[in-house]
Structure 1
């Protein structure tokens, strides 16, 4: 890359933000990372992710609350930022039931801060932001995957509602102020350096300790598990292909091969070399039965094609987990 202007990556201490920042650096970009480094999950893991950037001269980090609109605007202005990958958000479906106002600040006010900073930035080129497959709500498994043209009007969690609200805010800003935006509806992302609140991560912790795992939905749920490297390829591909000047678009980013929860557990058991004791539980509030991405639009735009199968991806995660947490074989 010959560009000198930086890419701003919010959520740089998070799972997807950390991987995206490294991929951008690897191709020669300058990256400015932003994260509040809160304690939604283990801050030590976030600190360890940030430590992987030490000594990288083309990376700088700012510990900021994205809802601080003045600070975000100043950062964008002072660094002549023209491209933003906005991945910071309060994640978690179940946590949104317990702590709804965390989602108001991080997801709604935070997204608005990035929109305002983008619209005031000279020669701004592209805002890519994280949405979620949860906006589709719950629908039966079978047939074609979820398509971006389906109505997203029945969220089953506050988290999903805030993500849909972000999409609508972006749509309005594109119409009002005419700068390019892409919203990426992420499906279930997994892999090394992942989030401890995700099922595969929590299952790993318990299986290695010999504790029983709780399997919600009685194991009948299915997810479109997408390996982190494949997701990052899609993010950067989208970043490099902005829509028209006044355009706003929504793109799915997933694996397009939904896997049943019990099948995922079997693959994880194989990767860990241990069998889990299972306690079957009913569905929890806010959960959906299945997710399944139709990624034809992203493929047509960028050539996106996920490469990593679940068995291989979980083996890579298991190897990272044992190394990171010093768990003996």
Structure 2
């Protein structure tokens, strides 16, 4: 069996994670096709494995004693279409915002609110990325993957993916490498208010187009969020907490103005950024780690090489929010 891709040893992972912390991988390779991926899995059946996309939603705290696989599939192809809908398959390594831009330029609606989210197409279903009232699950019809343990190709339907808030099957069952994602998008667009900040940004625009919505989202994100290229971060560090009815009432007794929204099934969602701010941690810094002054939910790296420094600060923030408001903050970032 011939393998065209290069298997690298003792690779520094600092360039491959947006927090820019140091860690090393014993083995590292990029795979350009499902066939190459299958060959790698056959040649290294017993190695511990980790799939790495763009590294925008992970934090390394130690070296990885195993094989890191980085898919680099970048094809985009139309699978089917009719007068109303289109199905498009995008390779796992396609830059997410490039794909959103492509869809908006072609007039395909459904992903425009997710503009400028860092990462790759392959990572989008894992986290069920979301922003401004939209989630990627609403545009996904299928996910193509390969089983790490067997090299078997698998197609997951929308239902198979078990999507929920910032969650999916792939976040819990790590035995799959996503090779491509199939999206089912609309060919017509009428703006519907889903998120107040976005509607404010579009105030005065009577019938926003796809491009106007995309540009509005980009403006908001650029104002609020730091560029990971100049101030390393992984976007939103914590999930917005889901509360029971009792937990909601307890929170409102302490913070009457806390934003609380019905989340279905008797649960309520509140804002992690709001709680972090009220705990006194917006813009707070400990050594080379802190929360971003413009957005309390963004944890930033001011110069440490150690993922453990970020974890220590994460725990401090969690304890402060728990002690003051009895709400547990759960990381959205994947920690290794």
User: With structure 2 as the length reference, what TM-score do the two structures score?
Assistant: 0.24
Higher helix share: 1
Structure showing greater radius of gyration is: 2
User: With structure 1 as the length reference, what TM-score do the two structures score?
Assistant: 0.25
Higher strand share: 2
